[in-house]
Chains A and B, each alone.
Chain A
């Protein structure tokens, strides 16, 4: 089959994931969308690996899976910690890393 179908599918899944990431407010759902994006890129990698008959793409896809797993562990751990500390699980409320108005060296 033409590679275009696989890349198009990957692009659609990626866009759905990206849209969900931007639109949803729950960190848990955002993590799911991140997974979608990562898997979409995996799909593209494997499709190209098959096209070029080169195993590099498959190896890289495995690496991406490992990274995704690690990142999900950390992300879920943060969400559970937030829940346990009764912090609202709403991404728009979690902005304590913003720039504070009192400066360090200026004025």
Chain B
């Protein structure tokens, strides 16, 4: 068998294959290696796999510590990347490295990571906040039966998010985008025995896939215009794109990128999944649905900013939809009765700020707010988790009250978070939110309206955030609070409020034990760090004094049209003053409504009943989508099943097979078994043939 290879030939063919596979290119410049970047990316994945594989052999606490350690290591690697970049020339701070993933016909789909100022900034925020949340979860999830699964999924999520922000290839960014969506799905339906949780999971996943599709088609359009999918090359070619008038392809690409961004960041109209996502455990809400994943849309816009800026349609759409979300979410948060949902709608609203700010080309301002928001929102969720634990998993704010004395630590950090959110003077949220607003105002034109909307949103934000504080911690202590004051943590047999079904604590969902911050050191440590950052982080961007983030990110956004069109220091300080006034007014209104005059809110609710209904039902978006999409889809499906399949398709099948069968049976009937008929056929047929040939011969 000469065709079979000798072993030498075999090896000769395999070796290049292996060499090719090991072709993990380092940076083209030998002195800039991407090792820290690869470490940063893969440490969480290794953590997830290790926890997953050792789930039976390792104790709960060990798994939690492995997971947390992995993220701390990743944070360390991110710092190393930061230091590496600091050691480079400011104009040249970028490293690209990777391998060919699926390249053909000019479609350069590569697995490349791109380490530059923006990605390192995002990586630091992501890994830093994740590390704190992991630490928090070590204690918070203690009584959960699926502890190992939780940490494995959480680590996998961090890996996915890092893949997203480090991606140097647009197709790879889509991969990171989808992985984040998958991780979010796994964590939302973490308590997979709850029907509400699994329903929320599939909803989030499908909306996320719609976003994926948007980015893929946008990638195609950009690829045809620019000839490459590698992000730094695309950005470099963007300069040529700027000089050309925006073609329909660019506008379409920009709008499709926005579809992706909006789906991920839960902006109107693709926002309906976020409130339902609160079905996941509170650390998940903190990490994914406040600090990191939902901000991926903002990251996308900032990363691909030349292609969004080039199309005025896209920037205006983003700005208006962002502001609309801002206002819709803020108004909805005013009347929500579920504590986590208040915070969820608040997230939606704050991201509206970031998106509108990015649309107004205030990129570093938006990213600054992204960072501060990560701190205080995660903090708020963590504190909410503590409260919910004290309430034996009940999340209804109407049943809460007066936890001030029973949970002093939680009260303090929750209030810090709420004040930062409201924009209390000199806290970090104050500086970041007002920076966005003053840049937007400076942009002028249509953006003045946007800025006005932002100010309205600011007052609403102040009101609802302090509403939460006052409802939960002030007033008469509720039963659970009294119990806690006496030193005992409330227990209850948990029932799913939506379906009334008894929760299955065997396989998940917190069992009889709950963990509150006052009793758990890990939780307190994590929350304190975040509280500290929430208060002081504003110091990095005090107008006229410090501009650390802005100068760090400057080279990335240099090619923006508005790079040097910034408001003056004086304007910014006026803006800060206005912002302070609004925040304090809002806090005062909240105090008046919920502390000084209890009962006003109920009277307002009955007086403006219809409005209250509208807001409680989140502006009826869920119902609209149900009627517009879900019902018609089911109708089409049953039409296909009952009409098309039965009559059309089976009709064709029956037709074809029926024709064959009836034709066959007709021929078969000739086989009567009567020998004389056969004999007649033979003789008759032969005679006919004989006559035919006789005639033919003539």
Contacts and interface: CB of A to CB of B under 8 A. Distances in A.
Interface of A: 18, 21-22, 30, 91-92, 94-99, 106-107
A22 B676 contact: yes
Contacts of B672: 95, 98-99
Interface of B: 661, 664-665, 668-669, 671-676, 679-680, 683
Contacts of A95: 672-674
Given A99-B668, A106-B661, A107-B661, A91 B675 contact: yes
A94 B673 CA distance: 7
A91 B674 contact: yes
Secondary structure call for the A interface = loop
B331 to A, nearest CB: 66
A82 B672 CA distance: 20
A98 B671 contact: yes
Contacts of B683: 18, 21-22
Counting chain B CB atoms within 10 Å of each CB, the highest count among A94, A96, A99 belongs to A99
B661 A99 contact: no
Contact of A94 (B661, B665, B669, B675): B675
B671 A22 contact: no
A33 to B, nearest CB: 10
Nearest to A24: B676
Contacts of A97: 671, 673
Contacts of A21: 676, 679, 683
A106 B676 contact: no
Nearest to B667: A99
Secondary structure call for the B interface = helix
A92 B674 contact: yes
A5 B300 CA distance: 106
20 contacts: A18-B683, A21-B679, A22-B680, A30-B675, A91-B675, A92-B676, A94-B673, A94-B675, A95-B672, A95-B674, A96-B673, A97-B671, A98-B671, A99-B668, A99-B669, A99-B672, A99-B673, A106-B661, A106-B664, A106-B665
Contacts of B665: 106
Contacts of B679: 21-22
Nearest to B669: A99
Given A18-B683, A21-B676, A92-B674, 14 more contacts: A21-B679, A21-B683, A22-B676, A22-B680, A30-B675, A91-B676, A94-B673, A95-B673, A95-B674, A96-B673, A98-B673, A98-B674, A99-B669, A106-B661
B103 to A, nearest CB: 51
A91 B672 CA distance: 12
A22 B668 CA distance: 22
Nearest to B670: A99
Contacts of A98: 671-674
A98 B674 CA distance: 8
Contacts of B673: 94-99
Nearest to A95: B673
Contacts of B668: 99
A67 to B, nearest CB: 17
Nearest to B683: A18
A30 B665 CA distance: 30
Nearest to A27: B675
A44 to B, nearest CB: 14
A96 B676 CA distance: 14
Contacts of B676: 21-22, 91-92
Contacts of B674: 91-92, 95, 98
Given A18-B683, A22-B683, A99 B671 contact: yes
A92 B678 CA distance: 12
A22 B684 CA distance: 11
Contacts of A106: 661, 664-665
B668 to A, nearest CB: 4
B313 to A, nearest CB: 63
Contacts of A99: 668-669, 671-673
A92 B675 CA distance: 7
Contacts of A92: 674, 676
A96 B679 CA distance: 17
B689 to A, nearest CB: 15
Nearest to A25: B676
Contacts of A96: 673
B346 to A, nearest CB: 67
A96 B669 CA distance: 14
A30 B676 CA distance: 10
The 7 closest A-B pairs by CB, nearest first: A98-B673, A95-B673, A99-B671, A99-B668, A106-B661, A97-B673, A91-B675
A51 B665 CA distance: 50
A98 B668 CA distance: 9
Contacts of A94: 673, 675
Contacts of A22: 676, 679-680, 683
Contacts of A18: 683
Contacts of B661: 106-107
A94 B678 CA distance: 13
Contacts of A30: 675
A106 B657 CA distance: 9
B228 to A, nearest CB: 59
A79 B683 CA distance: 23
B179 to A, nearest CB: 51
Nearest to A33: B679
Nearest to A105: B661
A95 to B, nearest CB: 3
A91 B679 CA distance: 12
B609 to A, nearest CB: 66
A92 B672 CA distance: 10
A107 B658 CA distance: 10
Contacts of B675: 30, 91, 94
